[in-house]
Chain A
Amino acid sequence: MFNASIFALVLQCGTTTAAVIIVVFTPTIGLGCRSLGYTLYGGVSILILFLTIISTISARVSETRVGRPTTFSIKGFTASTAIVLRKLSLFLAFLNAVWLIVLSSFQFSHTLNNCYCNAAVTGNGPDSYIIISFEGWISTIKAGRVSATILAAASMAIYMGFLWFTSALPTGLDHS
Protein backbone atom coordinates (compact mmCIF):
# COMPACT_ATOMS: atom_id res chain seq x y z
CA MET A 1 0.00 0.00 0.00
CA PHE A 2 2.80 2.36 0.88
CA ASN A 3 4.75 1.70 -2.32
CA ALA A 4 1.64 1.89 -4.45
CA SER A 5 0.57 5.21 -2.97
CA ILE A 6 4.07 6.64 -3.36
CA PHE A 7 4.17 5.83 -7.05
CA ALA A 8 0.61 7.08 -7.55
CA LEU A 9 1.63 10.34 -5.89
CA VAL A 10 4.66 10.59 -8.14
CA LEU A 11 2.48 10.32 -11.24
CA GLN A 12 -0.16 12.74 -10.00
CA CYS A 13 2.20 15.33 -8.57
CA GLY A 14 4.56 15.10 -11.54
CA THR A 15 1.97 15.80 -14.21
CA THR A 16 0.01 18.39 -12.24
CA THR A 17 3.07 20.26 -11.02
CA ALA A 18 4.44 20.32 -14.54
CA ALA A 19 1.22 21.87 -15.80
CA VAL A 20 1.33 24.42 -12.99
CA ILE A 21 4.97 25.28 -13.73
CA ILE A 22 4.21 25.89 -17.40
CA VAL A 23 1.42 28.30 -16.59
CA VAL A 24 3.19 30.02 -13.73
CA PHE A 25 6.33 30.72 -15.72
CA THR A 26 4.39 32.16 -18.60
CA PRO A 27 4.19 35.91 -17.91
CA THR A 28 2.76 37.30 -15.88
CA ILE A 29 4.60 35.13 -13.40
CA GLY A 30 2.47 34.20 -10.44
CA LEU A 31 -0.43 32.09 -9.34
CA GLY A 32 -3.16 32.86 -11.84
CA CYS A 33 -6.57 31.36 -12.52
CA ARG A 34 -5.23 28.42 -14.44
CA SER A 35 -2.45 27.48 -12.09
CA LEU A 36 -4.76 27.87 -9.12
CA GLY A 37 -7.25 25.58 -10.84
CA TYR A 38 -4.58 22.99 -11.53
CA THR A 39 -3.28 23.15 -7.97
CA LEU A 40 -6.79 22.74 -6.62
CA TYR A 41 -7.38 19.78 -8.90
CA GLY A 42 -4.16 18.03 -7.90
CA GLY A 43 -4.65 18.78 -4.22
CA VAL A 44 -8.19 17.42 -4.12
CA SER A 45 -7.08 14.37 -6.04
CA ILE A 46 -4.39 13.60 -3.47
CA LEU A 47 -6.82 14.32 -0.64
CA ILE A 48 -9.23 11.77 -2.13
CA LEU A 49 -6.42 9.21 -2.26
CA PHE A 50 -5.64 9.65 1.43
CA LEU A 51 -9.29 9.65 2.49
CA THR A 52 -9.86 6.44 0.56
CA ILE A 53 -6.84 4.71 2.05
CA ILE A 54 -8.02 5.61 5.56
CA SER A 55 -11.51 4.42 4.66
CA THR A 56 -10.21 1.07 3.38
CA ILE A 57 -8.13 0.45 6.46
CA SER A 58 -10.86 1.36 8.92
CA ALA A 59 -13.40 -0.75 7.00
CA ARG A 60 -11.11 -3.72 7.38
CA VAL A 61 -10.51 -3.00 11.08
CA SER A 62 -14.23 -2.82 11.68
CA GLU A 63 -14.85 -5.94 9.65
CA THR A 64 -12.39 -8.09 11.54
CA ARG A 65 -13.49 -6.98 15.01
CA VAL A 66 -15.91 -9.27 16.73
CA GLY A 67 -18.87 -8.03 18.66
CA ARG A 68 -21.67 -5.62 18.11
CA PRO A 69 -20.97 -2.23 16.56
CA THR A 70 -21.88 0.46 19.03
CA THR A 71 -21.09 4.14 18.81
CA PHE A 72 -18.19 4.02 21.23
CA SER A 73 -16.64 0.68 20.34
CA ILE A 74 -13.74 0.49 17.91
CA LYS A 75 -15.85 -1.59 15.57
CA GLY A 76 -18.63 0.97 15.42
CA PHE A 77 -16.33 3.98 15.24
CA THR A 78 -14.21 2.59 12.41
CA ALA A 79 -17.33 1.50 10.54
CA SER A 80 -18.82 4.97 10.60
CA THR A 81 -15.43 6.49 9.71
CA ALA A 82 -15.12 4.16 6.74
CA ILE A 83 -18.60 4.92 5.44
CA VAL A 84 -18.36 8.68 5.90
CA LEU A 85 -14.91 8.89 4.30
CA ARG A 86 -15.95 6.70 1.39
CA LYS A 87 -18.98 8.83 0.64
CA LEU A 88 -17.02 12.03 1.09
CA SER A 89 -14.26 10.91 -1.25
CA LEU A 90 -16.75 9.83 -3.90
CA PHE A 91 -18.48 13.19 -3.67
CA LEU A 92 -15.16 15.02 -3.93
CA ALA A 93 -14.21 12.84 -6.89
CA PHE A 94 -17.41 13.84 -8.68
CA LEU A 95 -16.75 17.51 -8.01
CA ASN A 96 -13.12 17.21 -9.07
CA ALA A 97 -14.02 15.40 -12.29
CA VAL A 98 -16.50 18.11 -13.17
CA TRP A 99 -13.88 20.71 -12.25
CA LEU A 100 -11.31 19.14 -14.57
CA ILE A 101 -13.74 19.09 -17.48
CA VAL A 102 -14.85 22.66 -16.81
CA LEU A 103 -11.28 23.89 -16.46
CA SER A 104 -10.21 22.23 -19.69
CA SER A 105 -13.27 23.54 -21.51
CA PHE A 106 -12.55 27.05 -20.28
CA GLN A 107 -9.03 26.82 -21.61
CA PHE A 108 -10.11 25.27 -24.88
CA SER A 109 -12.59 28.08 -25.40
CA HIS A 110 -10.06 30.75 -24.32
CA THR A 111 -12.47 31.90 -21.63
CA LEU A 112 -9.60 32.33 -19.22
CA ASN A 113 -7.68 34.46 -21.71
CA ASN A 114 -8.67 37.70 -20.05
CA CYS A 115 -6.96 40.47 -18.17
CA TYR A 116 -7.73 39.12 -14.74
CA CYS A 117 -6.28 35.68 -15.41
CA ASN A 118 -3.35 36.76 -17.56
CA ALA A 119 -2.25 39.24 -14.92
CA ALA A 120 -2.30 36.49 -12.28
CA VAL A 121 -4.29 38.66 -9.91
CA THR A 122 -5.05 35.75 -7.57
CA GLY A 123 -1.36 35.42 -6.77
CA ASN A 124 -0.03 38.92 -7.15
CA GLY A 125 -2.87 40.91 -5.64
CA PRO A 126 -3.06 44.66 -6.19
CA ASP A 127 0.44 44.77 -7.65
CA SER A 128 -0.65 42.77 -10.69
CA TYR A 129 0.48 43.86 -14.09
CA ILE A 130 0.07 42.56 -17.57
CA ILE A 131 2.78 42.07 -20.11
CA ILE A 132 2.28 43.34 -23.62
CA SER A 133 5.47 42.05 -25.17
CA PHE A 134 7.48 38.96 -24.27
CA GLU A 135 10.82 40.66 -25.01
CA GLY A 136 13.29 39.59 -22.38
CA TRP A 137 11.02 36.93 -20.95
CA ILE A 138 11.79 34.25 -23.50
CA SER A 139 14.53 32.56 -21.51
CA THR A 140 12.36 32.39 -18.38
CA ILE A 141 9.46 30.92 -20.31
CA LYS A 142 11.70 28.40 -22.00
CA ALA A 143 13.37 27.36 -18.77
CA GLY A 144 9.98 26.84 -17.14
CA ARG A 145 8.65 24.79 -20.00
CA VAL A 146 11.77 22.65 -20.35
CA SER A 147 11.84 21.85 -16.66
CA ALA A 148 8.09 21.12 -16.66
CA THR A 149 8.43 18.78 -19.59
CA ILE A 150 11.34 17.00 -17.96
CA LEU A 151 9.41 16.71 -14.70
CA ALA A 152 6.31 15.27 -16.38
CA ALA A 153 8.35 12.85 -18.47
CA ALA A 154 10.36 11.73 -15.46
CA SER A 155 7.33 11.11 -13.28
CA MET A 156 5.61 9.19 -16.05
CA ALA A 157 8.75 7.19 -16.68
CA ILE A 158 9.07 6.35 -12.98
CA TYR A 159 5.47 5.21 -12.75
CA MET A 160 5.49 3.21 -15.97
CA GLY A 161 8.85 1.66 -15.11
CA PHE A 162 7.47 0.61 -11.77
CA LEU A 163 4.48 -1.02 -13.47
CA TRP A 164 6.67 -2.69 -16.04
CA PHE A 165 8.99 -4.26 -13.52
CA THR A 166 6.34 -5.36 -11.05
CA SER A 167 3.89 -6.87 -13.50
CA ALA A 168 6.48 -8.95 -15.33
CA LEU A 169 5.65 -12.64 -15.42
CA PRO A 170 8.40 -14.69 -13.82
CA THR A 171 9.81 -17.59 -15.75
CA GLY A 172 9.81 -21.14 -14.53
CA LEU A 173 6.56 -20.96 -12.62
CA ASP A 174 4.94 -23.76 -14.56
CA HIS A 175 7.83 -26.19 -14.44
CA SER A 176 9.01 -26.78 -10.96
Chain B
Amino acid sequence: MTLSRVSFPSTLLLVQSLIRTRFRTRPVAISLGSPALAAYSLALTSLNTRFVYRRAQRIKHESRGAVARALVSLQQIPLELTRDEPLLAFIPVKEQWRQEVADRLNRRYVWPIAIGSSVTWVVIAFIFTLVDSFVDLDVSSDGGAEGHAVGTLWLWLACLVIGWIWVPTFTRGESSSAACHTRHTAANRAAKRINQTAAKAYNSAKTKISERLPEPNPLPDPTHSQSTVSLQSSAETQDDHTHNGVSENPTANHSAITFSRSTTLHSTTPQTSIYPNPERLLIDVSDELGALNRDELPLAATFNYSRIMRYLVLVDDVLRALENLTREDDEVGSVFRETSDFGNCVTDS
Protein backbone atom coordinates (compact mmCIF):
# COMPACT_ATOMS: atom_id res chain seq x y z
CA MET B 1 0.00 0.00 0.00
CA THR B 2 2.68 2.41 1.05
CA LEU B 3 4.88 1.42 -1.82
CA SER B 4 2.24 1.83 -4.48
CA ARG B 5 1.41 5.21 -2.98
CA VAL B 6 4.97 6.41 -3.49
CA SER B 7 5.89 4.55 -6.59
CA PHE B 8 2.99 5.45 -8.78
CA PRO B 9 3.33 9.25 -8.79
CA SER B 10 7.11 8.96 -8.92
CA THR B 11 6.85 6.68 -11.91
CA LEU B 12 4.43 9.10 -13.52
CA LEU B 13 6.86 11.97 -13.00
CA LEU B 14 9.64 9.82 -14.39
CA VAL B 15 7.60 8.92 -17.46
CA GLN B 16 6.78 12.57 -17.96
CA SER B 17 10.39 13.57 -17.85
CA LEU B 18 11.13 10.77 -20.28
CA ILE B 19 8.53 12.20 -22.63
CA ARG B 20 10.10 15.60 -22.09
CA THR B 21 13.41 14.30 -23.37
CA ARG B 22 11.64 12.47 -26.21
CA PHE B 23 12.96 9.14 -24.94
CA ARG B 24 16.46 9.90 -26.05
CA THR B 25 18.70 7.50 -24.22
CA ARG B 26 21.64 9.60 -23.19
CA PRO B 27 19.87 12.45 -21.37
CA VAL B 28 17.71 9.92 -19.57
CA ALA B 29 20.66 7.75 -18.64
CA ILE B 30 22.56 10.74 -17.37
CA SER B 31 19.66 12.10 -15.33
CA LEU B 32 18.80 8.74 -13.79
CA GLY B 33 22.30 7.44 -13.47
CA SER B 34 23.78 10.58 -12.07
CA PRO B 35 21.36 13.04 -10.53
CA ALA B 36 24.43 14.93 -9.31
CA LEU B 37 25.44 15.60 -12.90
CA ALA B 38 21.93 16.65 -13.89
CA ALA B 39 21.74 18.94 -10.85
CA TYR B 40 25.15 20.33 -11.73
CA SER B 41 23.98 21.09 -15.25
CA LEU B 42 20.88 22.81 -13.96
CA ALA B 43 22.88 24.82 -11.44
CA LEU B 44 25.31 25.86 -14.17
CA THR B 45 22.47 27.01 -16.37
CA SER B 46 21.12 29.07 -13.53
CA LEU B 47 24.51 30.55 -12.69
CA ASN B 48 25.12 31.39 -16.35
CA THR B 49 21.83 33.23 -16.44
CA ARG B 50 22.79 35.32 -13.46
CA PHE B 51 26.24 35.97 -14.89
CA VAL B 52 24.81 37.21 -18.20
CA TYR B 53 22.28 39.48 -16.53
CA ARG B 54 24.82 40.89 -14.11
CA ARG B 55 27.29 41.65 -16.88
CA ALA B 56 24.62 43.12 -19.12
CA GLN B 57 23.57 45.49 -16.36
CA ARG B 58 26.97 47.16 -16.49
CA ILE B 59 26.47 48.07 -20.15
CA LYS B 60 24.64 51.20 -21.08
CA HIS B 61 23.42 50.12 -24.48
CA GLU B 62 19.67 50.32 -25.00
CA SER B 63 19.32 46.79 -26.27
CA ARG B 64 21.24 45.17 -23.46
CA GLY B 65 18.14 43.45 -22.12
CA ALA B 66 17.34 41.88 -25.47
CA VAL B 67 20.93 40.79 -25.95
CA ALA B 68 21.10 39.30 -22.47
CA ARG B 69 17.87 37.39 -22.96
CA ALA B 70 18.99 36.12 -26.33
CA LEU B 71 22.27 34.94 -24.81
CA VAL B 72 20.48 33.22 -21.95
CA SER B 73 18.19 31.44 -24.36
CA LEU B 74 21.07 30.24 -26.51
CA GLN B 75 22.60 28.00 -23.88
CA GLN B 76 21.39 24.77 -25.39
CA ILE B 77 23.30 25.05 -28.60
CA PRO B 78 27.04 25.14 -29.23
CA LEU B 79 27.52 28.60 -30.72
CA GLU B 80 30.52 30.72 -31.35
CA LEU B 81 31.01 34.20 -32.58
CA THR B 82 32.71 34.21 -35.91
CA ARG B 83 36.39 35.03 -35.80
CA ASP B 84 36.49 36.25 -39.37
CA GLU B 85 35.45 39.76 -38.48
CA PRO B 86 37.80 41.83 -36.38
CA LEU B 87 35.29 43.86 -34.41
CA LEU B 88 31.79 42.85 -33.68
CA ALA B 89 28.44 44.46 -33.82
CA PHE B 90 25.53 42.82 -32.11
CA ILE B 91 22.48 44.97 -32.17
CA PRO B 92 19.07 43.40 -31.95
CA VAL B 93 17.15 46.59 -31.47
CA LYS B 94 13.91 45.74 -33.18
CA GLU B 95 11.10 46.35 -30.75
CA GLN B 96 8.97 43.54 -32.04
CA TRP B 97 11.68 40.98 -31.69
CA ARG B 98 12.56 42.15 -28.23
CA GLN B 99 8.92 41.94 -27.22
CA GLU B 100 8.67 38.41 -28.53
CA VAL B 101 11.69 37.21 -26.61
CA ALA B 102 10.48 38.97 -23.48
CA ASP B 103 7.05 37.40 -23.84
CA ARG B 104 8.51 33.95 -24.16
CA LEU B 105 10.78 34.41 -21.20
CA ASN B 106 8.29 36.12 -18.95
CA ARG B 107 6.11 33.06 -18.99
CA ARG B 108 8.29 31.99 -16.18
CA TYR B 109 5.74 31.03 -13.59
CA VAL B 110 3.16 29.51 -15.85
CA TRP B 111 3.50 25.87 -15.04
CA PRO B 112 2.72 23.19 -17.51
CA ILE B 113 -0.42 21.66 -16.02
CA ALA B 114 0.69 18.06 -16.36
CA ILE B 115 3.99 18.63 -14.63
CA GLY B 116 2.45 20.83 -11.96
CA SER B 117 -0.20 18.27 -11.11
CA SER B 118 2.18 15.35 -10.95
CA VAL B 119 4.67 17.26 -8.83
CA THR B 120 1.83 18.08 -6.47
CA TRP B 121 0.83 14.46 -6.48
CA VAL B 122 4.35 13.35 -5.66
CA VAL B 123 4.53 15.81 -2.79
CA ILE B 124 1.18 14.72 -1.37
CA ALA B 125 2.07 11.05 -1.75
CA PHE B 126 5.35 11.66 -0.03
CA ILE B 127 3.63 13.37 2.87
CA PHE B 128 1.29 10.36 3.21
CA THR B 129 4.27 8.04 3.16
CA LEU B 130 5.98 10.14 5.76
CA VAL B 131 2.99 9.96 8.07
CA ASP B 132 2.63 6.26 7.40
CA SER B 133 6.29 5.68 8.10
CA PHE B 134 5.99 7.26 11.53
CA VAL B 135 2.67 5.71 12.49
CA ASP B 136 2.93 2.12 11.24
CA LEU B 137 6.27 1.27 12.67
CA ASP B 138 5.89 -2.46 12.96
CA VAL B 139 3.69 -3.26 10.05
CA SER B 140 6.16 -5.64 8.50
CA SER B 141 9.47 -7.15 9.38
CA ASP B 142 11.35 -4.38 7.60
CA GLY B 143 9.68 -1.77 9.74
CA GLY B 144 7.84 -0.01 6.91
CA ALA B 145 11.02 1.67 5.83
CA GLU B 146 10.81 0.74 2.17
CA GLY B 147 8.37 3.40 1.02
CA HIS B 148 10.00 6.18 2.99
CA ALA B 149 13.51 5.26 1.90
CA VAL B 150 12.71 4.79 -1.79
CA GLY B 151 10.66 7.98 -1.79
CA THR B 152 13.60 9.89 -0.31
CA LEU B 153 15.96 8.30 -2.79
CA TRP B 154 13.88 9.68 -5.66
CA LEU B 155 13.32 13.15 -4.22
CA TRP B 156 15.92 14.73 -6.50
CA LEU B 157 13.64 14.03 -9.45
CA ALA B 158 11.02 16.46 -8.17
CA CYS B 159 13.76 19.05 -7.56
CA LEU B 160 15.12 18.75 -11.06
CA VAL B 161 11.71 18.84 -12.71
CA ILE B 162 10.75 21.97 -10.81
CA GLY B 163 14.18 23.48 -11.40
CA TRP B 164 14.05 23.08 -15.16
CA ILE B 165 10.78 24.96 -15.12
CA TRP B 166 12.24 27.80 -13.07
CA VAL B 167 15.45 28.28 -14.94
CA PRO B 168 14.93 30.30 -18.08
CA THR B 169 15.46 28.11 -21.05
CA PHE B 170 13.97 29.33 -24.26
CA THR B 171 11.02 27.00 -24.27
CA ARG B 172 10.32 27.24 -20.60
CA GLY B 173 6.66 28.03 -20.89
CA GLU B 174 5.87 25.69 -23.70
CA SER B 175 4.14 22.39 -23.42
CA SER B 176 6.27 19.72 -21.87
CA SER B 177 6.05 17.13 -24.61
CA ALA B 178 7.12 19.51 -27.34
CA ALA B 179 9.74 21.27 -25.27
CA CYS B 180 12.81 19.35 -26.23
CA HIS B 181 11.84 19.10 -29.82
CA THR B 182 11.30 22.82 -30.28
CA ARG B 183 14.24 23.84 -28.18
CA HIS B 184 16.69 23.44 -30.99
CA THR B 185 14.59 25.16 -33.59
CA ALA B 186 13.71 27.97 -31.21
CA ALA B 187 17.34 28.59 -30.38
CA ASN B 188 18.21 28.47 -34.04
CA ARG B 189 15.47 30.92 -34.81
CA ALA B 190 16.74 33.25 -32.12
CA ALA B 191 20.26 33.10 -33.54
CA LYS B 192 18.96 33.78 -37.01
CA ARG B 193 16.93 36.72 -35.74
CA ILE B 194 19.93 38.18 -34.02
CA ASN B 195 21.82 37.98 -37.25
CA GLN B 196 18.98 39.49 -39.24
CA THR B 197 18.36 42.35 -36.87
CA ALA B 198 22.06 43.04 -36.77
CA ALA B 199 21.98 43.20 -40.57
CA LYS B 200 19.10 45.65 -40.49
CA ALA B 201 20.70 47.75 -37.81
CA TYR B 202 23.87 47.74 -39.80
CA ASN B 203 22.09 49.00 -42.90
CA SER B 204 20.14 51.67 -41.05
CA ALA B 205 23.25 52.87 -39.25
CA LYS B 206 25.04 53.04 -42.55
CA THR B 207 22.39 55.18 -44.19
CA LYS B 208 21.97 57.32 -41.06
CA ILE B 209 25.63 58.16 -40.91
CA SER B 210 26.06 58.72 -44.60
CA GLU B 211 23.03 61.03 -44.57
CA ARG B 212 24.66 63.18 -41.95
CA LEU B 213 27.96 63.36 -43.71
CA PRO B 214 28.63 66.32 -45.94
CA GLU B 215 29.32 65.34 -49.48
CA PRO B 216 31.95 67.74 -50.77
CA ASN B 217 34.11 68.33 -47.71
CA PRO B 218 37.56 66.89 -47.48
CA LEU B 219 37.94 64.07 -45.07
CA PRO B 220 39.34 64.51 -41.61
CA ASP B 221 42.82 63.20 -41.22
CA PRO B 222 43.21 61.19 -38.02
CA THR B 223 46.73 62.43 -37.52
CA HIS B 224 45.70 66.08 -37.50
CA SER B 225 42.22 66.19 -36.04
CA GLN B 226 41.71 66.09 -32.29
CA SER B 227 38.43 64.24 -32.55
CA THR B 228 38.57 60.70 -31.43
CA VAL B 229 36.65 59.27 -34.32
CA SER B 230 37.23 60.18 -37.89
CA LEU B 231 34.78 59.28 -40.53
CA GLN B 232 35.56 58.09 -43.94
CA SER B 233 32.49 58.66 -46.00
CA SER B 234 31.15 56.59 -48.77
CA ALA B 235 31.97 59.55 -50.98
CA GLU B 236 35.61 58.73 -50.73
CA THR B 237 35.23 55.15 -51.76
CA GLN B 238 33.18 56.37 -54.66
CA ASP B 239 35.94 58.79 -55.53
CA ASP B 240 38.45 56.00 -55.38
CA HIS B 241 36.40 53.88 -57.63
CA THR B 242 35.92 56.63 -60.16
CA HIS B 243 39.60 57.34 -60.04
CA ASN B 244 40.22 53.79 -60.94
CA GLY B 245 37.79 54.08 -63.74
CA VAL B 246 35.26 51.84 -62.02
CA SER B 247 31.96 53.45 -61.08
CA GLU B 248 29.98 51.49 -58.56
CA ASN B 249 26.94 52.07 -56.47
CA PRO B 250 28.41 53.08 -53.11
CA THR B 251 25.52 51.66 -51.11
CA ALA B 252 26.33 48.21 -52.40
CA ASN B 253 29.77 48.45 -50.96
CA HIS B 254 29.79 46.98 -47.47
CA SER B 255 32.96 48.63 -46.37
CA ALA B 256 31.60 52.05 -47.18
CA ILE B 257 31.89 53.32 -43.64
CA THR B 258 35.13 52.82 -41.90
CA PHE B 259 35.68 54.08 -38.43
CA SER B 260 39.35 54.59 -38.11
CA ARG B 261 40.12 55.21 -34.49
CA SER B 262 42.88 57.37 -33.27
CA THR B 263 45.44 55.40 -31.37
CA THR B 264 45.27 57.64 -28.32
CA LEU B 265 42.04 56.25 -26.93
CA HIS B 266 41.93 52.63 -27.90
CA SER B 267 45.41 51.60 -28.68
CA THR B 268 44.57 47.95 -28.40
CA THR B 269 42.08 47.86 -31.26
CA PRO B 270 43.48 48.25 -34.73
CA GLN B 271 41.74 50.11 -37.50
CA THR B 272 38.71 48.01 -38.19
CA SER B 273 35.23 48.20 -39.53
CA ILE B 274 32.66 48.33 -36.76
CA TYR B 275 30.02 46.55 -38.70
CA PRO B 276 31.08 43.14 -39.87
CA ASN B 277 29.08 41.01 -42.20
CA PRO B 278 26.10 40.41 -39.96
CA GLU B 279 24.98 37.30 -41.78
CA ARG B 280 27.81 35.46 -40.15
CA LEU B 281 27.86 36.79 -36.60
CA LEU B 282 26.90 33.66 -34.75
CA ILE B 283 27.99 30.35 -36.13
CA ASP B 284 26.75 26.99 -35.02
CA VAL B 285 29.81 24.85 -34.44
CA SER B 286 27.88 21.57 -34.23
CA ASP B 287 29.39 20.40 -37.49
CA GLU B 288 32.92 20.99 -36.34
CA LEU B 289 32.68 19.11 -33.06
CA GLY B 290 34.54 15.85 -33.28
CA ALA B 291 34.83 12.98 -30.88
CA LEU B 292 36.30 15.33 -28.32
CA ASN B 293 33.18 17.35 -27.65
CA ARG B 294 30.45 15.00 -28.67
CA ASP B 295 28.48 15.84 -25.54
CA GLU B 296 27.93 19.34 -26.86
CA LEU B 297 26.00 18.06 -29.86
CA PRO B 298 22.76 16.89 -28.26
CA LEU B 299 20.45 19.78 -27.69
CA ALA B 300 19.01 18.58 -24.43
CA ALA B 301 19.55 21.05 -21.61
CA THR B 302 20.99 18.19 -19.55
CA PHE B 303 24.17 18.60 -21.55
CA ASN B 304 24.67 22.26 -20.69
CA TYR B 305 27.59 21.22 -18.50
CA SER B 306 29.65 20.40 -21.58
CA ARG B 307 28.99 23.73 -23.25
CA ILE B 308 29.99 25.90 -20.32
CA MET B 309 33.42 26.95 -21.59
CA ARG B 310 32.25 27.74 -25.11
CA TYR B 311 29.24 29.56 -23.75
CA LEU B 312 31.23 31.77 -21.39
CA VAL B 313 33.52 32.77 -24.25
CA LEU B 314 30.50 33.62 -26.38
CA VAL B 315 28.95 35.73 -23.63
CA ASP B 316 32.20 37.55 -23.06
CA ASP B 317 32.69 38.26 -26.77
CA VAL B 318 29.16 39.45 -27.39
CA LEU B 319 28.89 41.66 -24.34
CA ARG B 320 32.31 43.17 -24.92
CA ALA B 321 31.28 43.91 -28.49
CA LEU B 322 28.14 45.57 -27.18
CA GLU B 323 30.25 47.62 -24.80
CA ASN B 324 32.51 48.70 -27.64
CA LEU B 325 29.48 49.59 -29.69
CA THR B 326 28.13 51.75 -26.87
CA ARG B 327 31.42 53.57 -26.68
CA GLU B 328 31.41 54.06 -30.44
CA ASP B 329 27.88 55.41 -30.30
CA ASP B 330 28.91 57.88 -27.62
CA GLU B 331 31.88 59.04 -29.57
CA VAL B 332 29.99 59.42 -32.85
CA GLY B 333 27.20 61.17 -30.97
CA SER B 334 29.58 63.59 -29.31
CA VAL B 335 31.21 64.38 -32.64
CA PHE B 336 27.85 65.05 -34.19
CA ARG B 337 26.65 67.09 -31.23
CA GLU B 338 29.66 69.27 -30.81
CA THR B 339 30.03 70.26 -34.39
CA SER B 340 27.31 72.25 -36.03
CA ASP B 341 29.28 72.24 -39.21
CA PHE B 342 31.45 69.42 -40.30
CA GLY B 343 33.76 71.64 -42.24
CA ASN B 344 34.74 73.53 -39.09
CA CYS B 345 35.61 70.39 -37.28
CA VAL B 346 38.14 69.58 -39.87
CA THR B 347 39.46 72.94 -40.99
CA ASP B 348 39.84 74.49 -37.51
CA SER B 349 42.25 71.87 -36.49
Residues of A within 8 A of B (CB): 1, 3-5, 7-9, 11-12, 15-16, 18-19, 22-23, 26-27, 34, 38, 41, 44-46, 48-49, 52-53, 56-57, 59-60, 62-63, 79, 82-83, 86, 89-90, 92-97, 100-101, 104, 107-108, 110, 112-113, 118, 130, 133-134, 138, 141-142, 145, 148-149, 152, 156, 159-160, 162-164, 166-170, 172-174, 176
Pairwise interchain contact B163-A160, C-beta atoms closer than 8 A: yes
Pairwise interchain contact B308-A11, C-beta atoms closer than 8 A: no
Pairwise interchain contact B294-A110, C-beta atoms closer than 8 A: no
Partner of A174, one of B102, B163, B166: B102
Pairwise interchain contact B292-A11, C-beta atoms closer than 8 A: no
List the B side residues contacting A93 at CB < 8 Å. 29-30, 32-34, 37
Pairwise interchain contact A83-B291, C-beta atoms closer than 8 A: yes
List the A side residues contacting B54 at CB < 8 Å. 170
Pairwise interchain contact B166-A170, C-beta atoms closer than 8 A: no
Pairwise interchain contact B39-A7, C-beta atoms closer than 8 A: yes
With A22-B133, A49-B36, A134-B143 known, 12 other A-B pairs at CB within 8 A are A4-B43, A15-B156, A38-B149, A45-B34, A60-B310, A93-B32, A152-B155, A163-B46, A167-B49, A167-B50, A167-B168, A169-B168
- Shortest beta-carbon distance, A167 to chain B, in Å? 5
Pairwise interchain contact B168-A145, C-beta atoms closer than 8 A: no
List the A side residues contacting B294 at CB < 8 Å. 86
Pairwise interchain contact A118-B159, C-beta atoms closer than 8 A: no
Which of B36, B146, B167 has most A Cβ within 10 Å?
B36
Bitwise interface map of B from 15 to 51 toward A, beta carbon under 8 Å scored 1, else 0: 0000000000010111011111111101110110110
A93 to B146 alpha-carbon distance, docked (Å): 24
Q: What is the total of A-B residue contacts with beta carbons within 8 Å?
A: 226
A170 to B32 alpha-carbon distance, docked (Å): 33
Residues of B within 8 A of A (CB): 3-4, 7, 26, 28-30, 32-40, 42-44, 46-47, 49-50, 53-54, 56-57, 60-62, 64-66, 68, 98, 102, 105-106, 108, 130, 133-134, 137-138, 140-143, 145-146, 148-150, 152-156, 159, 162-163, 166-168, 291-295, 305-306, 308-310
- Shortest beta-carbon distance, A168 to chain B, in Å? 8
Pairwise interchain contact A152-B152, C-beta atoms closer than 8 A: yes
Pairwise interchain contact A63-B150, C-beta atoms closer than 8 A: no
Pairwise interchain contact A104-B155, C-beta atoms closer than 8 A: no
List the A side residues contacting B293 at CB < 8 Å. 59, 63
Pairwise interchain contact A134-B137, C-beta atoms closer than 8 A: yes
Partner of A86, one of B108, B153, B295: B295
Is the contact region of chain B dominated by helix, strand, or loop, or is it mixed? helix
25 CB-based A-B contacts, threshold 8 Å: A4-B46, A5-B40, A7-B43, A8-B38, A18-B152, A27-B143, A34-B145, A45-B37, A48-B37, A52-B34, A60-B310, A90-B26, A100-B33, A104-B150, A112-B142, A141-B143, A145-B148, A148-B152, A166-B47, A169-B53, A169-B106, A172-B57, A173-B64, A173-B65, A174-B102
Pairwise interchain contact B162-A79, C-beta atoms closer than 8 A: no
A94 to B29 alpha-carbon distance, docked (Å): 5
Which residue of A has the minimal Cβ distance to B291?
A83
A164 to B46 alpha-carbon distance, docked (Å): 9
Pairwise interchain contact A164-B166, C-beta atoms closer than 8 A: yes
A131 to B65 alpha-carbon distance, docked (Å): 64
- Shortest beta-carbon distance, B169 to chain A, in Å? 10
- Shortest beta-carbon distance, B134 to chain A, in Å? 7
List the A side residues contacting B4 at CB < 8 Å. 108
Pairwise interchain contact A96-B36, C-beta atoms closer than 8 A: no
List the B side residues contacting A56 at CB < 8 Å. 295, 305-306, 308-309
A46 to B7 alpha-carbon distance, docked (Å): 24
Pairwise interchain contact B26-A96, C-beta atoms closer than 8 A: no
A170 to B159 alpha-carbon distance, docked (Å): 23
Partner of A11, one of B39, B62, B106, B141: B39
Pairwise interchain contact A8-B7, C-beta atoms closer than 8 A: no
Pairwise interchain contact A118-B39, C-beta atoms closer than 8 A: no
- Shortest beta-carbon distance, A16 to chain B, in Å? 7
- Shortest beta-carbon distance, B268 to chain A, in Å? 21
> Contacts A1-B44, A7-B43, A176-B60: A108 and B150 contacting too (C-beta < 8 A)?
yes
List the A side residues contacting B29 at CB < 8 Å. 90, 93-94, 97
Partner of A44, one of B30, B34, B154, B155: B34
A164 to B163 alpha-carbon distance, docked (Å): 8
Pairwise interchain contact B43-A163, C-beta atoms closer than 8 A: yes
A44 to B37 alpha-carbon distance, docked (Å): 11
